[in-house]
Structure 1
């Protein structure tokens, strides 16, 4: 029997400029032998013709350059989000539209907990849609005063907990002096915790006993289901603690014959000194496999804009909220950038606010002067408020950007009215400016912050439509072919994987997204509605219907 399979399709969009379309693709040993006509590919010798995709459109497997495997584990907790959302098994959960609705959902979940000491965990709380109400420990005490209750915000940067949780963590006391711990009129914490530094000590008491950034084994498998359902074949876990047990589990699970995704975890910078972090990541790099690519660093510089914890330059927040939080000292950032360049390790930095972006640009420039590397591809993640001058500087420094296109839909109206005001809201996630400035660009979902779905992300960048239906910042819209490039070759480039994935051409991984319709000819407004049959990953076939 031949070890070459030729797949026929209604159309193959290759993202390879020298041969942009084909009718067939040949696969051997998990790699692409070639794309073209059947007659051309038959010259390679004996083959098996597989016509199962004859009515489908094939694209390169989508590459999600900013996501978190923790979404797979979060579905074991109570969904408290504003928007309707599908879980890994395809079930649609309705959104909770008020604080009372969130409390009712948590109360319902609390009644079925048999262990009276077990914590109750929720996720995806989005109070900016609830008149920007602050959820307090008194609110969550309505769920229980005897068990710890904690709810993670949609941004992942804020958590609300009840009185019992604060008590168990030793934080129910007056006068705590930390910018991430707001105090009430009584001098006690309100129950809102901002940033990992103050969330982490409470996490184990509210059901986030593992690092809040990591998935457990079941979660890693659930996460893979989401990938297949969305056409994603390579995805990052962009901030993992990567302790020894977690790495062993990830190696074992991703190494299973039917695991359908190539996972690229980035080691989170907190918890180790700069030198210790570099040594740890170099050791991880030695253990990398095809489906678990290790050896990269994630730095978080500030918080979230909708959580008012991002660092903004003048004039600050539109509603006069105080400026956000620094997650890293400038000296620590500088040291990490220097050491990473010296060691040849890639760094992706989270910068939501433009002040945070400016800090990275200013610290990277002297690091590159001391450790020149024309192919470092250090990437600004989110980079939501960058202006044209910052994009030009990023391009000169050889940086990439991965912009948060989904934000236009999920929080665009709130940014316009509340967080940054009309002028800056219309240029947030400025894809057009980034491309015109010559910055290599990807776009992302930041799942679980927004749902994983590269076609939705492409739709968001092409249309820039908010949840209320407005077009916000039409000048920053990009073309469909540019958006499709951003979720394939663009994202692959930011990960140093563009020689392996991102296009359908000879020698690359046989990774395909199998679509029900052609995104290059449909009305751009319908881009997000194209169905995904499943994926092919390394030549292995994964129908979504079999999940």
Structure 2
């Protein structure tokens, strides 16, 4: 904290601190990039000569929102056209209208195809989910209507599936002889064009590389930052950077550590594709990366992926499995190797965040954590179950006993709740999806997330989902798993910071912490909870710097 500068006292209509000692205030004093004191304006004047800033005199301040599970892919994909079901706003504020059926999707694709400059330029788009289209799967046949010569690559909303046309399959050699798990085939044994999970999607070759290669694009990171600031996030996470090497870290530092970059970023090292690596060496490398962190860029944690997506039928479920089906999902990492993968990082004190959409995957991860703690006990390691969509009461009890955190994908209640009832898990299990009340009951540190770009970045929406549990059709999905607005805000501030190991620096408005605030037009604790997602976001404060949202 700088001690040679005058404090700035920001006054506000109300400050919600997430600090039980001083839960509400009317002013916060900031010196440099740190919080000096919180209270009434007159109480803060004792810190000596100061500047009064009344920018927020009619606004509400909360701790800066922490999005603890998103991806820079959200910034990358806005470099390509969006063709998803729901309307969506891009980094520049433009609203892209959703494609509500296959006909609308076909019209959009045809428009985009005619706009391409050259005849052989591929068409790469994103955001589709066939689950919205009354049971019809998107196949190469649908895309061949658009073009039989131009390669077409459609990344699904979940990021776990893609659909490609015949021209692309011919170019990449995907045919009936292709023996890769996840290449969907019809009754004639010919590929349908649907590629499930990364091993199959990688068969798309150069077309996938157009997306993956942009991880190192400064434009993608600037898009990511703008999107975050516009929805009130001051800390965002890229939960799993592929090939996070020294060059990538230098690139990130050159973007994120600049004064004008509007958010803090936590970047995790992805273990996807590391099956042949020496994990002891990787653990050593990741632990060393943590020492290269700055106040705006945080490194030194890892991401493991065990299963796929529920809406793509590739998540791993406990019996009885998928609703009305006899198959299960795909293990994206061998479950029998989970402990061996986890242990080197556990021993180095590196937190592991594990993608577990299905409850069978949660069992595998918790078994591995339990075994690791028995072999090499570490207090406060904060391994985290990511997504945690179908976690059961007994699994939350185990999380509590092991000190494991949860990051819950509440947005699924709105975006896929109706589909989960009708098609994936059925009415009874859908009622207990995203079980925030159960997590709170068992004193789990839990956060909420968007998994952007799977759903749009925005913690007001994830909190609204946890509070109201409404599907897109207006159905209440699990009345007894609702939580209060305060608890939802706590989850996206202090507990979000906790899961990332940043709660000493972020997540509440109290002396000594970084001066990161989200600025609202209305009080989230006073409005009708049904309106929570619609509150206006004025902007943010990052380390004492005021940053209005784009209008």
* TM-score interval, smaller chain: over 0.9
Q: Which residue of 1 aligns with 2:344?
A: 339
Q: Which residue of 1 aligns with 2:474?
A: 469
CA shift in 2, pair 1:335/1:25, >3 Å: same
Give the C-alpha shift of residue 243 in structure 1. 4.0
Report whether the alignment pairs 1:144 with 2:147.
Answer: yes
Aligned 8 A contact 2:306 2:335 in 1 = no
Q: Which residue of 2 aligns with 1:208?
A: 210
Out of 448, 454, 460, the position equivalent to 2:453 is: 448
Q: Which residue of 1 aligns with 2:225?
A: 224
CA shift in 2, pair 1:275/1:197, >3 Å: farther
Count of matched residue positions in the alignment of Structure 1 and Structure 2: 544
SS in 1 for 2:223: helix
Out of 393, 396, 403, the position equivalent to 1:398 is: 403
Give the C-alpha shift of residue 215 in structure 1. 6.0
Write out per-residue CA displacement over residues 411-465 of structure 1, whole angstroms, 9 at most, x where no aligned residue: 1111111100011000001000111012111111111111111111111000000
Out of 529, 533, 537, the position equivalent to 2:534 is: 529
**Equivalent-residue separation in structure 1 for 2:539 and 2:532 (angstroms):** 17
CA shift in 2, pair 1:427/1:457, >3 Å: same
Give the C-alpha shift of residue 271 in structure 1. 2.5
Aligned 8 A contact 2:253 2:297 in 1 = yes
SS in 2 for 1:182: strand
Out of 74, 79, 85, the position equivalent to 1:76 is: 79
Write out per-residue CA displacement over residues 262-312 of structure 1, whole angstroms, 9 at most, x where no aligned residue: 100111102222234323323422322111101110011100000000001
Give the C-alpha shift of residue 211 in structure 1. 4.7
Q: TM-score, normalised by structure 2?
A: 0.96
Q: TM-score, normalised by structure 1?
A: 0.97
**Equivalent-residue separation in structure 2 for 1:157 and 1:129 (angstroms):** 16
Alignment root-mean-square deviation, CA: 1.5
Write out per-residue CA displacement over residues 51-74 of structure 1, whole angstroms, 9 at most, x where no aligned residue: 111110011000011101111111
Report whether the alignment pairs 1:108 with 2:108.
Answer: no
SS in 1 for 2:337: helix
**Equivalent-residue separation in structure 1 for 2:144 and 2:218 (angstroms):** 32
Write out per-residue CA displacement over residues 140-159 of structure 1, whole angstroms, 9 at most, x where no aligned residue: 12222222111111111000
Give the C-alpha shift of residue 197 in structure 1. 1.3
Write out per-residue CA displacement over residues 328-381 of structure 1, whole angstroms, 9 at most, x where no aligned residue: 112431112111111110100010111000111111111111111110010001
Aligned 8 A contact 2:81 2:126 in 1 = yes
**Equivalent-residue separation in structure 2 for 1:538 and 1:329 (angstroms):** 42
**Equivalent-residue separation in structure 2 for 1:446 and 1:228 (angstroms):** 16
Superposition pairs for residues 403-422 of structure 1, below 5 Å? 403-422=408-427
Aligned 8 A contact 1:98 1:130 in 2 = yes
Q: Which residue of 2 aligns with 1:60?
A: 63
**Equivalent-residue separation in structure 2 for 1:395 and 1:375 (angstroms):** 12
Give the C-alpha shift of residue 226 in structure 1. 1.1
Q: Structure 2: where are the runs of 5+ without partners?
A: none
Write out per-residue CA displacement over residues 488-522 of structure 1, whole angstroms, 9 at most, x where no aligned residue: 01111111111100000000000000000001111
SS in 2 for 1:79: coil
SS in 2 for 1:208: helix
Give the C-alpha shift of residue 209 in structure 1. 4.7
CA shift in 2, pair 1:516/1:497, >3 Å: same
SS in 2 for 1:151: strand
CA shift in 2, pair 1:280/1:138, >3 Å: farther
Q: Structure 1: where are the runs of 5+ without partners?
A: none
Out of 404, 418, 436, the position equivalent to 1:431 is: 436
